[in-house]
């Protein structure tokens, strides 16, 4: 099946409308309310699509999330079988406090093409297409990865920029990066957007690494695939509950390192609409009775674009 332009437009509209639904709640300090607004709107519009959809990356399992939970069936049931990965609001803190970088994110593919990731942490590494495939690896030391990137790009170490979440769990890595005298781009949240900063030289990020959400890793991989970037991920299972959940999803090798082509096995559509302005796209703007949105859209069989939408409020 080839995704037609009309279908692409519908997917773009879904993330755009979810972003607009957040607008009245920006800066109101209520993470739950703004997340619910995005989730409700995204679910409503996904259910209107002529697809036989199933959520493989969602807001959690059925006992954790009342809607857009992993395994939930969406769509009219009349069309093709589709895998759906969602993060209706990436950066709930950003939206609740009206800070830069909140996104509404959706990825879809034909059934079986998106990895069904458990709700657990993942150790991740992403680099751009200008870095040789064998230059970086999750099993390499931080120093080896950084020096290999510097060699492949013919850069001095102090010209290399590393993007990583600013978390206590990354203290040793950050200390090592400081010792190497590389530049740091520290994120408070938003590791989907962080991973995508390796896609274009204009963002001045050479590598994204560290531990973040596993579902977010799959969503990022969907976009990175269209940019021909390199991505690796390894799930981290800390409890028996995590292990049992993984086994139910068919994950037997708990230490397996996944390459991008094992996470995204076929063509996919990725959309990320800005809720608040960030590195990738501008946030929702309301002027003269009209909402304006920007959406990053990736699809291998189409050009990669920033799509601007205007919605008139009547």
Residue 39, CB half-sphere, CA atoms under 13 Å: how many?
A: 18
User: What was the pLDDT predicted at 285?
Assistant: 94
User: What was the pLDDT predicted at 252?
Assistant: 84
Question: Does 148 lie in the same domain as 79?
Answer: no
User: Cα–Cα distances in Å, from 34 out to 43, 105, 293, 302?
Assistant: 14, 15, 17, 32
Number of folded domains in the chain?
A: 2
What's the CATH number where 286 sits?
Answer: 3.30.540.10
**Domain span at residue 274?**
5-113+267-312
Question: Does 169 lie in the same domain as 72?
Answer: no
Question: Cα separation of 173 and 167, whole Å?
Answer: 10
User: What was the pLDDT predicted at 151?
Assistant: 97
What's the CATH number where 153 sits?
Answer: 3.40.190.90
Helices in the chain by DSSP H: which ranges? 5-22, 31-46, 92-96, 142-153, 171-180, 191-196, 214-226, 240-248, 260-263
Question: Does 256 lie in the same domain as 180?
Answer: yes
- Tokens encoding 237: 């299972």
Average pLDDT, the chain: 91
Question: Cα separation of 172 and 174, whole Å?
Answer: 6
User: Cα–Cα distances in Å, from 120 out to 140, 179, 213?
Assistant: 23, 30, 6
Backbone angles phi, psi at 32, to 5 degrees: -65, -45
Question: Does 172 lie in the same domain as 83?
Answer: no
Reported as a single tens digit per residue, the pLDDT across 159-177 is 999 999 999 999 999 999 9
User: What was the pLDDT predicted at 314?
Assistant: 42
Task: Give, as one character, the DSSP assignment of residue 168.
Answer: G
Question: Does 294 lie in the same domain as 232?
Answer: no
Question: Does 287 lie in the same domain as 155?
Answer: no
Question: Does 154 lie in the same domain as 242?
Answer: yes
Question: Does 285 lie in the same domain as 165?
Answer: no
Beta carbons of 254 and 246 less than 8 angstroms apart? yes
User: What was the pLDDT predicted at 282?
Assistant: 95
- Sheet bearing 258-259, strands edge to edge: 183-187, 161-165, 207-213, 121-127, 230-236, 258-259
Helix (H, G, I), strand (E, B) or coil at 246: helix
Beta carbons of 191 and 120 less than 8 angstroms apart? no
pLDDT beneath 50, residues of the chain: 314
Question: Cα separation of 274 and 297, whole Å?
Answer: 12
Question: Does 70 lie in the same domain as 91?
Answer: yes
Question: Does 232 lie in the same domain as 107?
Answer: no
- Tokens encoding 31: 């993470």
Question: Does 200 lie in the same domain as 76?
Answer: no
Question: Does 171 lie in the same domain as 226?
Answer: yes
């Amino acid at each position: 099946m080839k995704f037609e332009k009309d279908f692409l437009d519908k997917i773009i509209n879904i993330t755009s409308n979810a972003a607009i639904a957040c607008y009245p709640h920006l800066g109101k300090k209520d993470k739950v309310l703004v997340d619910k607004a995005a989730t409700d709107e995204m679910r409503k519009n996904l259910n209107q699509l002529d697809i036989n959809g199933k959520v493989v990356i969602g807001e959690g399992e059925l006992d954790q999330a009342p809607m857009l939970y992993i395994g939930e069936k969406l769509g009219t049931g009349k069309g093709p079988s589709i895998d759906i990965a969602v993060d209706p609001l990436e950066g709930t803190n950003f939206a609740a406090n009206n800070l830069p970088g909140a996104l509404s994110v959706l990825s879809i593919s034909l059934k079986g093409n998106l990895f069904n990731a458990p709700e657990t942490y993942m150790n991740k590494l992403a680099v751009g297409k200008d870095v040789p495939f064998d230059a970086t690896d999750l099993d390499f030391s931080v120093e080896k990865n950084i020096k290999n990137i510097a060699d492949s790009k013919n850069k001095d170490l102090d010209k290399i920029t590393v993007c990583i979440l600013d978390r206590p769990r990354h203290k040793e890595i950050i200390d090592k990066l400081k010792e190497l005298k590389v530049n740091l781009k520290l994120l408070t949240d938003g590791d989907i957007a962080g991973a995508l900063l390796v896609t274009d030289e204009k963002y001045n990020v050479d590598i994204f690494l560290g531990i973040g959400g596993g579902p977010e890793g799959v969503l990022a991989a969907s976009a990175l695939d269209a940019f021909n970037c390199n991505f690796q991920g390894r799930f981290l299972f800390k409890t028996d509950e995590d292990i049992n959940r993984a086994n139910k999803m068919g994950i037997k090798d708990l230490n397996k390192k996944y390459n991008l082509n094992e996470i995204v096995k076929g063509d996919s559509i990725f959309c990320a609409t800005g809720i608040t302005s960030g590195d990738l796209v501008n946030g929702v703007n309301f002027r003269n009775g009209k909402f304006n949105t920007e959406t990053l859209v990736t699809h291998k069989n189409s050009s990669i674009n920033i799509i601007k939408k205007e919605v008139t409020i009547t």
